[in-house]
Amino acid sequence: MTVEAYTCDLTSMDDENKSFSLKYVGRRFANARLPLDVLSDLPALRDLIAALAKQEFRKKNPDRQRVPQGFDKAISFALIEIEEGSAVPKLSLENEVAQQSLPNIGDEMEEIVARAFERVAKIYDNAAHDMFPQALPQDVIRALSKLGANIQDDERIEFQGQVGRDGKVVSLDSFRRKNLLTRIRETYTKEFEGIGNLTGIDATNNAIQVQTEQYGELRLPLEGVSLPVEQFDGHLFSLVEFSVSIALDAHDEFKAVENVHSVDLVRPYDEAVMRCVRRLQELSKIEKGWLGEGQGEQLVHLAGMRATQFIFTRADLSELFRIFPTEDGGISVEFDKDGWSFAVEIMPDGSMEIDGSSEDGTVFEAQSFEEFSEEFFNAFDRMTAVVLDDEN
């Protein structure tokens, strides 16, 4: 016979506020018995809620890189009573601690903690349906490994008030716990193909460094790759194309290069493209104040990278391209043909604006894009089709 005998309530000081409850189910918990070995679940649950609350805070405040100092300590629970009948220890979120530690966000802590508890239940419910997080921060993994560590095969922990996909209360048992813990990692693998600038050569260790727009500087070992490191000598700042496997963390931040599938220098196929590349290299050397009287920003690296990528993707127009710096550190790639003028302005933050106009006053309205995309190239091709279609 299975006996439901132990409930742990996490409540706030205000009875009207939402409570969080764990119910232990199993023979060991009959007659209000609470084995000491499961008491460790309470600090483990607190640590898990705190770790997930950090993620909830970041999600709610995307402009902040880090949680405020003292955030972890602000999430504090206290055992305030043990109710008669079944052993029901009641824990309260100490709002005074949150207010003292983080006066600017203390009032929000209950909401953040509530969402974190819901995420705890969702992680276990998803695991019951063979759905696992791509990656989790180390502090979350550490807390998950402690919660339920001492429950036996015929026992489970129910997350009261949390209903799963099957319409039942979400629960944790030894099988589900093992299934989850053997599947989660700090990082996950993503295949990444791209183009970057060669920024370093390490002949001693047979590796190169490539600056990428998406993930910053990557160190690419060349062991197992057909191109030897000597082939990159003399090509600093040249474009490199690569295919690699990378590790990203739970926040999609780059952690490591796991495997290099291929890497090679991008070799322009005509002098027109090389002329554009040399022009960009020249512009990368201009210094702040180039317009005089302190006006004119230095070219931002991201704008230069995107200009280079644009030139290579539309290399058939490179003979027509004229390239200019903009006052704020961006790049303008322009060309004229058959009475029409077109421009692609690349802003310092990498966003882009395209427009076109003709001598007879016809104007294509400017269109803005946050990044290179199919929509950007489709818009550019539609705009320039008025002068290029006859050539196809």
- Identify the pLDDT of residue 109: 78
> Does residue 82 surpass a pLDDT of 50?
no
Name which of 64-68, 105-109, 274-278 the model is least confident about: 105-109
Supply 45's token pair.
């649950």
- Identify the pLDDT of residue 188: 76
- Identify the pLDDT of residue 249: 81
- Identify the pLDDT of residue 88: 45
Higher-pLDDT residue of 373, 291: 291
Residue 218 — very low, low, confident or very high, per pLDDT cuts 50/70/90?
Answer: very high
Tens digits of residue pLDDT in 348-362 = 988 999 999 999 999
DSSP label at residue 190? E
Tens digits of residue pLDDT in 101-111 = 665 665 677 78
Residue 9 — very low, low, confident or very high, per pLDDT cuts 50/70/90?
Answer: very low
Supply 188's token pair.
């996950």
Helices (H), the chain: 41-60, 71-74, 95-101, 109-128, 138-146, 174-181, 271-283, 301-313, 374-388
The domains of the chain, with CATH numbers, are 4-181 (no CATH), 187-265 (2.40.50.140), 271-391 (no CATH)
User: Which of the residue ranges 63-67, 187-191, 317-321 has the most confident prediction, judged by mean pLDDT?
Assistant: 317-321
Q: Which residues pair with 159 in a beta bridge?
A: 22
Which residues contact residue 74 at a Cβ distance below 8 angstroms, ignoring those fewer than 6 apart?
A: 97, 98, 101, 102, 106, 109
CB 9 within 8 A of CB 20: yes
Beta strand extents in the chain (DSSP E only): 4-12, 20-25, 77-83, 88-93, 156-163, 169-173, 187-202, 207-212, 216-221, 239-249, 254-265, 322-325, 331-337, 340-346, 352-358, 363-369
Burial of 135 (0-12, 13-18, 19+ CB in 10 A): buried
Give the whole-number percent of the chain exceeding pLDDT 90.
28
Tens digits of residue pLDDT in 158-206 = 888 899 999 999 999 988 888 888 888 777 778 888 888 888 999 999 9
Higher-pLDDT residue of 8, 176: 176
> Does residue 2 surpass a pLDDT of 60?
no
Nearest Cα to 56, choosing from 14, 9, 108, 100? 108
C-alpha distance across the termini of the chain, in Å: 80
d(CA 203, CA 207): 6
